[in-house]
Chains A and B, each alone.
Chain A
């Protein structure tokens, strides 16, 4: 096996994992604190990609795209929270699932009306489009390295925010006992709106960052949101640490499975059969992994055990 390919795929896996973390963090926060199942979280990722791509194409500045698109989408998220989601916090999960499903239909169609072409493609920003030499003579995309770096930076700041600040204290308190935080005089509505805005911003950021790699398409949110669900289920719903670890594991399993499963299978079965079966099995790997984890720990790696 070539080491260069292995290292490249590990880096790809970490990059995918970091992206998943940005999506999963918002999901797990909204669920842990507001008890809200938000399917429309992926729509914010999609909006992030569209706004980011559009601003980048207009102005030519990727930095400007980041700085403008993230607050715009966070604003849209907050408006959605105030108009629709707020009334759902006290409702049954089924109502939340359905209403946020309605939001997905709405946003997908909205995007098709505003950007009537078949999605957008964006180039890499020029100063990040080169490759950098790593060990063993590997050349790796600077842009992807930047995503990995940004992801780790954000994970650390999230950790600092949750463990070291007053807002983080309220977030943790809200996750363990919502009513008590309310009874102690916190403006819980404002807290919920802030947390929702934060989650949306992370999701939008992921969208802006991925636009040069994947482009922007209507419906791109639904593809990724299920994987983000897999991540938070593996990590334990409500746990940010859990979703970070689970995101990296999921990213690695997915990208290593896609590139090496045929080689591994060929050790056990004839090479023809291995090459035929590998793509089918590798697309299922993360779900099999999730099922395995849940079989032994029904609330995920770091989830709260039910009483």
Chain B
């Protein structure tokens, strides 16, 4: 289980600060009467869940998947299409979303993991783009205008009601913390060691008797399913789904969050998503053309700090984790 010493490193303090902030935002937002911030952080945590899931294959597995936003789309469209047919129970929507994501991630993973290096980047990108075009061409579900969701997912009880912003916020928070915990357990398990071993030396892992393909496929699928949950939550926050969620530039932003926070660190994707949103919020206040600054900023981060924020935190001592 957790080693207590970890909490008193710089990384540990930063982690407590970040998660603590997420936990307190609704209270602070209510006190200062700015509900806008609660919505902002809800969105931010959804992106964080997606980035946390991507970190599994990208950070720990070393596989540059450039199509991860696909699963955001699957999760969101599952809610959207279900509610289009008046199926609003979350206990039907989530199994449908996860079922579809399982099939798609199995097939796409099976195809793309046969390839290596730059082929893998381009194939994951192209397969996602294929579903993007599919969603644009189906007029029944709104084509590129997207689909408006009139009723949020229903739990069938008053204890959890997603129309209540506090309930919504803390559901997202709990899912996010759950994903962080799952990541922690996964990468410290035998499974996690094989995945990380295959990243540093695939041949050696094969030689000592692990089928790296199968481990990677399972990892690819777990990451996809986790991200699908983020999509389900996103549909409930925005009450809107559109093909735009799956465009390949979204996947690029997800990768940037992971790299910005620090690859292969558990909290990295969360801090990455936070800093990403903070910077885009601040820049977009100055000018509508904020990408003109954001683009070069991204290049500078890549060139100057390849290990991201996590790398800055652990520069002086403190073990890995």
Q: Is the interface of B mostly helix, strand, loop or mixed?
A: helix
Choose among A95, A229, A280, A287 the residue that contacts B138 (Cβ–Cβ < 8 A). A280
Least CB distance from A45 to B in Å reads 16
Which residues of chain A in 39-60 are interfacial with respect to chain B, using CB atoms and an 8 Å cutoff?
39
| B319 close to A (CB within 8 Å) | no
A103 to B100, CA, bound (A): 35
A229 to B299, CA, bound (A): 22
| B248 close to A (CB within 8 Å) | yes
Of the candidates A31, A106, A107, A299, the one having the most CB atoms from chain B within 10 angstroms of its own CB is A106
Contact residues in A for B295 (Cβ distance below 8 Å): 102-107, 109
Contact A233 B292 (CB under 8 A): no
| B21 close to A (CB within 8 Å) | no
A230 to B129, CA, bound (A): 11
Contact B127 A93 (CB under 8 A): no
Contact status of A287 and B130, CB under 8 A, knowing A93-B118, A98-B302, A294-B114:
yes
Contact A113 B289 (CB under 8 A): yes
Contact residues in A for B256 (Cβ distance below 8 Å): 98, 101
| A295 close to B (CB within 8 Å) | yes
A37 to B136, CA, bound (A): 28
Choose among A37, A101, A284 the residue that contacts B134 (Cβ–Cβ < 8 A). A284
Contact status of A31 and B118, CB under 8 A, knowing A93-B64, A94-B64, A98-B255:
yes
A residues contacting the other copy or chain, number (CB 8 A)? 47
Least CB distance from B189 to A in Å reads 25
| A237 close to B (CB within 8 Å) | yes
Contact status of A233 and B122, CB under 8 A, knowing A98-B256, A102-B296:
yes
Which residues of chain B in 212-248 are interfacial with respect to chain A, using CB atoms and an 8 Å cutoff?
247-248
| B294 close to A (CB within 8 Å) | yes
| A187 close to B (CB within 8 Å) | no
A30 to B240, CA, bound (A): 40
Contact B259 A94 (CB under 8 A): yes
- Which residues of chain A have a CB within 8 Å of any CB of chain B? 31, 37, 39, 84, 87-88, 91-95, 97-99, 101-110, 112-113, 222, 226, 229-230, 232-233, 237, 279-280, 283-284, 287-288, 290-291, 294-295, 298-300, 306
20 A-B pairs with C-beta separation under 8 A:
A37-B121, A84-B299, A98-B298, A101-B256, A103-B299, A106-B291, A108-B291, A109-B290, A109-B291, A109-B292, A109-B295, A110-B292, A229-B122, A233-B123, A280-B134, A280-B138, A284-B130, A287-B126, A288-B130, A294-B111
